[in-house]
Amino acid sequence: MKLAKTLLLAVGLALAPAAAHAQDAPKQDTTTQAAAPAADSATQAPAAPAAEAAALPETAPVLGVGMPTNKHIVLQDQYTPNGRKAEWMHDYVLVPMMVGISVLVMLLLMYVIVRFRRAANPVPSRTSHNTVIEVIWTLVPVLILIAIAVPSISLLAAQFKPAGKDALTVKATGNQWYWVYSYPDNGGFEVISNMLQDKPEPGKRTRQAADGPRLLAVDNRMVIPVGRQIRLLTTSNDVIHSFAVPAFWAKIDAVPGRINEISFTVEKEGVYYGQCSELCGARHGFMPIAVEAVSPEKFVAWIKSKGGTMPGTPSQPLATPAPEKPVDATTGTDQPTPGTATPPVTSQGGQPNGNN
């Protein structure tokens, strides 16, 4: 019984909050503070208004621009150089070829149905081969594939061409089920982007018409400047996601533990929408992407409103440091001014006394 009481007492002392044994912190020496000279207002570090600036108004989306449209079966309008090349290839290379091949096959099928029907051929032909026809149906598909491959390879090379040294770097990190955009070139701040709900919820922002279409509107957009190359880096914190914006002709996987890269240049201001295009879990369909392309001037203002900085901008002057106290070269210890020495502090935060 005595052993049990001893064990319980030991456990209670071990789990007791350490604050119960803490000593009062020493009071500041007001006389020493008063003796310190007042800092010159001209040398004080200025406040950081950028971090506290009001958020800039968001650009209102335009119906049919950068978003899916009802009864629309063709590509979205493209707003990047690579997108326009791909749109041209789709409209003037692939579609005509598909239509031409389909029409040719249908005409040949109709000819065969009519020409070799039972009434016209009571005795079936016993032809085993035809060298000319066989050469044609071998060479024609090869030529078609070459005609498609040449512009395709050129387009793929342009899509994955490394960004230039002046490109703006934006890192998109996929999470279940939201995106985080960071700006390494502008101070490394982050923007967390979640889909806006249509149903009102306490403490949450509800989607409005100016935010964008249902299931595509977000609370914080990825903001980029027009006319400047963007180096988009993608990765993931959990499972594989995919960053895809059809109006930019941009799609790249976000893989955990790996950084993927793609570059593009947006040519027109506006709001452009996309979605995660890799099955990533239960709420995969509720992980939209919204990119707001703005003028360079507005982009600079937005960066400052988020507390970021622009490359090459001189840093703000810091407060002039107080003059250092002289150091004894022989002992390496500070030499305090006579009459202002501060009593030494114990390891527990109190001043020593004769009872310790």
Q: What domain range is 237 assigned to? A: 168-199+213-305
Over range 15-29, report the average pLDDT.
Answer: 39
| Band of pLDDT at residue 39, cut at 50, 70 and 90 | very low
Q: Distances in Å between the alpha carbon of 113 and those of 30, 117, 120, 128? A: 107, 6, 10, 19
Cβ-contact 272, 293 below 8 angstroms: yes
Identify the burial level of 87 via C-beta atoms within 10 angstroms of its C-beta, where 0-12 means exposed, 13-18 middle and 19 or more buried. middle
**Any domain includes 223:** yes
Over range 217-241, report the average pLDDT.
Answer: 95
What is the model's pLDDT at position 232? 96
Quick check: helix, strand or coil at residue 274?
strand
Q: Is the pLDDT of residue 18 over 60?
A: no
**Any domain includes 172:** yes
Q: Total domain count for the chain?
A: 1
End-to-end CA distance of the chain: 36
| Band of pLDDT at residue 314, cut at 50, 70 and 90 | low
The per-residue pLDDT for range 115-164, each reduced to its tens digit, is: 888 888 888 888 888 899 999 999 999 999 999 999 899 999 988 889 99
Rounded to whole angstroms, the Cα distance separating 245 from 293 reads 13
Cβ-contact 51, 305 below 8 angstroms: no
Q: Is the pLDDT of residue 65 over 70?
A: yes
CATH number for the domain spanning 300: value is 2.60.40.420
What length does the chain have? Answer: 356
For the chain, the farthest-separated pair of C-alpha atoms sits apart, in whole angstroms, at 128
Q: Is the pLDDT of residue 202 over 60?
A: yes
What is the model's pLDDT at position 136? 92
**Any domain includes 284:** yes
Element (DSSP H or E) covering residue 33: helix 30-35
Q: Is the pLDDT of residue 356 over 60?
A: no
Rounded to whole angstroms, the Cα distance separating 211 from 285 reads 18
The per-residue pLDDT for range 97-117, each reduced to its tens digit, is: 999 999 999 999 999 999 888
- The pLDDT mean for the chain works out to 78
41-60 residues labelled b (16+ CB within 10 A) or e (exposed): eeeeeeeeebeeeeeeebbe
Rounded to whole angstroms, the Cα distance separating 191 from 244 reads 18
Q: Is the pLDDT of residue 31 over 70?
A: no
Cβ-contact 251, 242 below 8 angstroms: yes
The per-residue pLDDT for range 178-198, each reduced to its tens digit, is: 999 999 999 999 999 999 998
Q: Is the pLDDT of residue 9 over 80?
A: no
Beta strands (DSSP E) in 137-194 are 168-175, 178-182, 190-193
Tell me whether strands 229-236 and 168-175 are parallel, antiparallel or unpaired: parallel
Rounded to whole angstroms, the Cα distance separating 14 from 275 reads 53
Over range 36-63, report the average pLDDT.
Answer: 51
Rounded to whole angstroms, the Cα distance separating 206 from 204 reads 6
What is the model's pLDDT at position 276? 96
Rounded to whole angstroms, the Cα distance separating 275 from 286 reads 8
What is the model's pLDDT at position 324? 45
Over range 276-285, report the average pLDDT.
Answer: 94
**Any domain includes 102:** no
**Any domain includes 332:** no
What is the model's pLDDT at position 20? 36
**Any domain includes 175:** yes
Residue 236, beta-bridge partner list? 174, 256
Rg of the chain over all Cα atoms, to the nearest angstrom: 35
What is the Cβ-side half-sphere exposure of residue 303, based on CA atoms within 13 angstroms? 23
| Band of pLDDT at residue 61, cut at 50, 70 and 90 | confident
**Any domain includes 353:** no
Higher pLDDT, 106 or 340: 106
Over range 260-283, report the average pLDDT.
Answer: 95
% residues pLDDT > 70 (the chain)? 72
Rounded to whole angstroms, the Cα distance separating 288 from 179 reads 8
Q: Is the pLDDT of residue 224 over 60?
A: yes
Rounded to whole angstroms, the Cα distance separating 217 from 197 reads 9
% residues pLDDT > 90 (the chain)? 53
**Any domain includes 241:** yes
Q: Is the pLDDT of residue 90 over 90?
A: yes
What is the model's pLDDT at position 8? 52
